[in-house]
Structure 1
Amino acid sequence: MKYTTFGKTGLRVSRIALGGYPFSGVNKANGWDPYSADGRATAIRTIHAALDAGINYIDTAPSYGKGHSESIIGDALQDRRGSCYLATKVGWKGLDKESVIKSVEDSLIRLKTDYVDVIQFHGGIYYREDTQHIIQDGLLEALESLRSQGKVRWLGITTEEPFSILDLLETGYFSVVQPCYNIIYQTAATHLLKQTAEKNIGVAVMRPMTSGIFQRILEYLEPQLQTSTDIYALCMKFLLADSRVHVLNIGMRWPEEVDRNARLLEAFTPVFDMADLPRLTARIYQTDDERKGIQ
């Protein structure tokens, strides 16, 4: 397993993490039902397989199956809590300070632990009024209170639209950010990842494999690429090659998925930093000239 330092948290984390959404999402086409007895038992085996492989970061949320994902992880970690760093989330829409505290404390009960390493505001797009609500209406104060009690160690925030949390990161409260960033959704590269690098904020990306969206696009447009190219591996390589990304939150249902991801990680060594990828037409032209030695 390969590890890296998770920004200013100082945590030494595995480059791939176990994402907890599949422990709440039914996928009948692939025979997956974590609400069945067999499905739950398989999920627990998968968690143990991840820990055995050296994966030491697990990410979940209370909204994943109304706590179902957290409860599975809690069962699996009863005797192995010290083997990993644990991250969960808390909502903010329509919540006040007291309800934020209660949500986190309920998560701790389901996770069967007295603390989580990272607590993250769980959100998609943050509008101005949302940012003001989090800062001014006691929600940040709630997380700070939980941190002072030792129930959480680091504060984080998740987002589907990276630009919308730039102001929140400027508050200085957040040590971890979980943006949507992958080979087909790269907006974070134009602003957010520059800020996280400057502030030494830990980055654990969501949807690293595009949640299957890239594969579905190819199915409609270029189906032959699905057989000639390992699209899954390509998505992973893109993120592993970006020096600003610390962790890939990958949903894994079966132990064999853990093994596959661990092998892909071990086999890949970047030869180019995607942080340096030209992202404007003028820069593409300029680098074309530079690579050909043209002044």
Structure 2
Amino acid sequence: MKYSVLGKTGLNVSRIAVGGYVFAGVNKARGWDPYGMEGRQTAISTIHAALDAGINYVDTAPSYGNGHSESIIGEVMRTRRDECFLATKVTAHGQDKAAVIRSVEESLKRLQCDHVDVIQFHGGTYSGTDTKHILNEGPLDALLTLREQGKVRWLGLTTEDAYSALDLMDTGMFSLVQVNYSLIYQSASLHLLDQAKDKGIGVAVMRPMTSGILQRLLGQLEPRWIEAADPYEVCLKFVLSDSRVGVINVGMRWPHEVQQNVELVNRYEPSFDIAELPRLTAKIYQTDDAFNGL
């Protein structure tokens, strides 16, 4: 397994992580139900397979199945907690200091451990009001208290909308940001990824495979692309090729998916850095001319 340092946390993390949503999401068309006894045991086996393969970062959230994902992961953490870095989340919206502390402590019970390495505010889009609430009305104070108590180590946040998280990142209070970034969602490249690099903030990626949206689009617009190349593999290669990305959260349901992902990561060597990809039309023209000696 390949590893990278996750910003100023100093954590030496595997390039891919166990993404915990799949342990709460039912997908009947694919024969996946983690709420049944068989599905739960399969999920536990998958996490064991990931740790055995050298994956050492596990990310989940209490909102994934109302704690169901955390409870599955907890079955593994009960005996293998020291083999990985563990991250979960907490909702700040509408919550005061006491509620945030209570939520994290309940997560720890489900995860069957006394601390998590990374605790993240679980956010979609942060309005100015949201940012003010987090910083001044209890949620941030709650995480700082939990850190003093040794129940969390590093503070982070997650965001669907890269731009809306910039003000929170600017505070210097957060050591990790998890962002929606993929082949089709590239707005983080315009600002967040560079800001994170400049500030030493570790970057985790959510939805690297577009949650299947790219495959759905290609199936409707140009099915031959799916026949010519595996969109899943192309999506993973995209984020692996960006030097600003520390760890990539991948939803893996079965042990054989762990093996496939690990093999892809280990054999792929990026030929260029996505961070250097021009983002403006004028720059595309200029680099095209330069490439062709004009």
Specify the TM-score bucket, using the shorter chain as the normaliser.
Answer: over 0.9
Taking the aligned partners of 1:138 and 1:78, their CA distance within structure 2 comes to 31
Equivalent-residue separation in structure 1 for 2:79 and 2:5 (angstroms): 25
The letter for the 1-side match of 2:21 is Y
Partner of 1:49: 49
The alpha carbon displacement at 1:55 in A equals 0.2
Shift of 1:292: 1.1
CA distance in 1, matches of 2:272, 2:190: 18
Aligned-partner residue type, residue 215 of structure 1: Q
Q: Which residue identity does 1:136 align to in structure 2?
A: N
User: Counterparts in 2 of 1:136-147, with a 5 A limit?
Assistant: 136-147=136-147
* TM-score scaled by length of structure 1: 0.99
C-alpha separation between the residues in 2 aligned to 1:92 and 1:3? 31
Q: For residues 106 and 209 of structure 1, what CA distance do their matches in structure 2 show? A: 30
1:9 aligns with 2:9: yes
Aligned to 1:72: 72
Q: Within the alignment, does 1:155 sit opposite 2:147 as a pair? A: no
What is the aligned-residue identity percentage?
A: 64
Specify the code of the residue in structure 2 equivalent to 1:220: Q
CA shift digits 1:120-163 (9 cap, x unpaired): 00010000100011011011010000000000000000000010
Whole-angstrom distance in 1 between the partners of 2:246 and 2:93: 28
Residue matched to 1:38? 38
**Any idea what SS the aligned residue of 1:34 has?**
coil
Aligned length: 294
**Match of 2:285?**
285
Runs of 4 or more off by more than 3 Å in structure 1? none
Give the distance between the partners of 2:5 and 2:191, measured in 1 at CA.
22
Q: Which runs of 5+ in 2 are unaligned?
A: none
In 1, Cα distance between equivalents of 2:93 and 2:6: 28
Could you list the runs of 5+ residues in structure 1 that have no partner in the other structure?
Answer: none
Give the counterpart letter for 2:281 in structure 1.
Answer: T
Structure 1 residue 114, shift from structure 2 partner: 0.2
1:274 Cα deviation (Å)?
A: 0.2
* Counterparts of 1:6 and 1:194, CA distance in 2: 14
Residue 119 (structure 1) shift:
0.1
**Partner Cα separation in structure 2 for residue 201 and residue 125 of structure 1:** 19
Residue identity opposite 2:205 in structure 1 = V
Question: Which amino acid is 2:185 matched to?
Answer: Y
Matches of 1:90 and 1:75 in 2, distance apart?
A: 20
SS of residue paired to 1:208: coil
Specify the alignment match of 2:214 in structure 1: 214
* Cα-to-partner distance string for 1:81-124 (whole Å, 9 max, x where unaligned): 00000000000111100000000000000000000000000010
CA distance in 1, matches of 2:255, 2:169: 36
Which whole-Å CA distance do the structure 2 matches of 1:139 and 1:37 have between them? 36
Could you say what secondary structure the match of 1:285 adopts? helix
Residue number in structure 2 paired with 1:226: 226
Q: For residue 269 of structure 1, what is the aligned residue in structure 2?
A: 269
Looking at structure 2, the residues matched to 246 and 199 of structure 1 have their Cα atoms a distance apart, in angstroms, of 14
Distance apart, 1:275 and its partner CA:
0.1
Task: Quote the RMSD (CA, aligned, Å).
Answer: 0.5
- Deviation of 1:187 after TM superposition, in Å, equals 0.1
Q: Distance in 1 between matches of 2:292 and 2:32?
A: 51
**Aligned-pair distance for 1:293?**
1.4
Q: What are the superposed Cα offsets for residues 188-211 of structure 1, whole Å, 9 maximum, x if unpaired?
A: 000000100101111010000000
AA aligned opposite 2:50: A
- Residue 25 of structure 1 corresponds to 25
TM-score, structure 2 normalization? 0.99
In structure 2, give the amino acid aligned to 1:83: E
Counterpart residue number, 2:112: 112
